[in-house]
Every structure is written in C-alpha cells, then in structure tokens.
Structure 1
C-alpha cells in the first residue's frame, strides 16, 4: 500500500486495467486537477468478480503497463489487494481507512461504472465509507441521473464546482465531474488485439 501523510487528499482509482489505456490516464488527470489531490492511488485489482477471469491478463503485466501510462509522480500504481487476498472494493476501502487515519480519501470511478454500481458487493457500504467522484465517460453522461446509486444517494450529491472540497467531506457525498472524454475502452482494445474490429 502506498504511503500518504496525514492531512493529504488522496484519490483511489481502482480497476482491472485490462489493459490500461490513455482513457484511464485521462480520468486520473481530471480527478487530480479538479479535486486538487495530493496523490492518486492507481489500484490494479487481481480480478473483477463481475467479469470472466479467463479474459484477464496476468497481474504483473497489467501493473507494468499501468506504470508506463501513469507518468505523473503523484500517481502511485499499486496492486496491494493481491497481497491481502482482497476481491471486493468494500473490503479494500475498509483496509485503507483502517491503515491511514488522518488521510482524506475519495473513491474515483468512470461514469460507465456508475450504471452497474448497484451490482457491486456491498455498494451502499462503499458509498458510506469515502466520498465518490464520478468522472464523465463517453455514452455514460446521463448515468448520474438514471443509475440506481445516483437515485439512492441523490441527497448526497454536491455541485461539481465544489469538487475541490469533496475529499474532505464526510461520506456519503459524491459529485459528477464533466471534462474531456476518451472513447478508448479496454474491451475494444482486447477485441482489436484478437483481430476483431473494435466497437464504434
């Protein structure tokens, strides 16, 4: 697990990154800039319980590629979940919270994940652990209005103009951050590498 000093604002950006691409880096850059984060932890997960493990590249490969893409020194690429045998985000966040008293964390996700967030294990607990920043992704802009989690925690949404305060706020609190969007997706890249045409 990366080191963070007390009082820091730190973004948590997790995913299978299979493979990582410029779209992921763009989400990280937008999050750091708009929320004025001191660090961002790029958390490469051992596996995704909602996806077939047979499609997953080796963790070491995804970790190495992530380090190549995430060039900002404030971004800390890590795969500590594997060492602790963690599969679910709720458990990851509880471990981070326990081990880092005095650090202000915010969970970061792309808007494409917001649509399916209510299928995640203990998704309500995730929303009650740390504030959440949802970064716009192509085709997912309206998910901040229509998704189950958006409706469930509508009362906790703050204006994106207040994004710099989000990491310091008590959960539940979340915002939707608009900005430049990349049409790249890991699925399209994997399909392209297999000789198939990436989806439009």
Structure 2
C-alpha cells in the first residue's frame, strides 16, 4: 500500500488541511494519506501548542468521513524533538509492506536542503508537493534558492501535484478565535464544536 504522510502540528486542523489531504488521496497514486500529528516541531515553540491528545482528537473528528485519510500518533512514541528521517525509519520497520512518501507544500520544498539527512529521505522516499503562494524573499538569496528549488523540482523522487492553492493558516484561526470572531467556515463542523466546547484558543 502506498501511504502519503502529511505532517503537521494541526493546531487546529482546518478545512485547508482536509482539501489537500483529500486531493492527494483522490488525484495521485497514493492509496491513503496519514495525518501525522507532530508533538513538537523543532521550528515551533512548544508552549504555543494545544495538548497533543486534543490535537489528535481533532484530526480524528476531521477525518471521520474520509476513509482514505487516517490520523496517526506515531511521533508521540518517538524521542523529541521529532525529525522526519527518524520517523520514516521507524514506520518502515513497523510496516515493511507499506511504501511511505511525504506530502509537503512548495514552501517546505524550498527548505528541504536544511532538513536532517534530507539526502537519505530522497533516496528512499518519494515526495508529493502541493502549490503554495510564494512570499517575497531577500533578493540576495533569490539566485541560490532558485537553483536549489530547480534541482529539487527536477528530482525523479519529487512529484508536483496540481492541487488547489489553499492559504488558510492555523495561526489565523487561533488569532481570530482569541478576538471573538466567527471561524466556523474554516473548520470541519465537529472540530469547531470540539474547540468551542473546550473553550480552546480563547485566551
């Protein structure tokens, strides 16, 4: 079985995440997409994260109606901070009959060369990339990044998927909840109910 791993803190999971995950499950050669809830991203302050269990529960609620989308807490059991290369090794040992690939946004592809052991990841795993709106960058870096990006885009293990461009962020949702604004259209209904019932993100 071909599994696409969609990593994220999902703090909270929103309709944008589901649009991308479902598109990958329906419009690529992947059989399933696993939403891997990250307990601690090395690039984010852990203090800003909702409890691991609550974020996992919201992914369960969001994925209930999508049989090809599965929640995963695999990184909860691994040493922190979590590095993707270590998670991939663990998964391949646990599920030797599965073929694991990564799902990432085009913005993350640009920083792939900074990942721990990224060469080993590319050697053993495919990467499915969905489009993101590029932000402006320092002009002095443009040439270097363009060359790096071109190298990755032409790599045989990297597949560019013509998925919808979704620019919804969990940060935007959290900030709006704190300000008392209505964010229901941005969240799966059961996730919004869970957040509202538990008064999350209001302080």
Please classify the TM superposition score into its range, dividing by the shorter chain length: 0.7 to 0.9
Q: For 1:1-200, what aligned pairs fall within 5 Å after superposition?
A: 8-70=1-63, 71-86=65-80, 87-139=82-134, 146=145, 150-157=149-156, 173-195=157-179
Task: For residue 189 of structure 1, report the CA deviation from its aligned partner.
Answer: 1.4
Task: For residue 105 of structure 1, report the CA deviation from its aligned partner.
Answer: 2.0
Q: Does the 8 A contact of 2:20 with 2:163 survive in 1? A: no
Q: Does the 8 A contact of 2:88 with 2:100 survive in 1? A: no
Q: Does the 8 A contact of 2:109 with 2:152 survive in 1? A: no
Change (3 A) 1:147 1:66: farther
Structure 1 segments unaligned to the other structure (5+ residues): 1-7, 158-172
Q: Does the 8 A contact of 1:18 with 1:57 survive in 2? A: yes
Cα distance in 1, alignment partners of residues 147 and 53 from structure 2: 34
Change (3 A) 1:38 1:155: closer
Task: For residue 10 of structure 1, report the CA deviation from its aligned partner.
Answer: 1.3
Q: Superposition RMSD on alpha carbons, in Å?
A: 2.5
Q: Does the 8 A contact of 1:90 with 1:122 survive in 2? A: yes
Cα shift readout 1:58-99 (whole Å, capped 9, x = no counterpart):
111111111122231221101121123351111001111222
TM-score when normalising by structure 2: 0.74
Q: Does the 8 A contact of 1:10 with 1:40 survive in 2? A: yes
Q: Does the 8 A contact of 1:27 with 1:110 survive in 2? A: no
Change (3 A) 1:121 1:72: same
Task: For residue 48 of structure 1, report the CA deviation from its aligned partner.
Answer: 0.3
Task: Kindly name which structure, 1 or 2, has the bigger radius of gyration based on alpha carbons.
Answer: 2
Cα distance in 1, alignment partners of residues 68 and 134 from structure 2: 29
Structure 2 segments unaligned to the other structure (5+ residues): 136-141, 182-203
Q: Does the 8 A contact of 1:115 with 1:148 survive in 2? A: no
How many residue pairs get aligned? The number is 172
TM-score when normalising by structure 1: 0.75
Task: For residue 44 of structure 1, report the CA deviation from its aligned partner.
Answer: 0.3
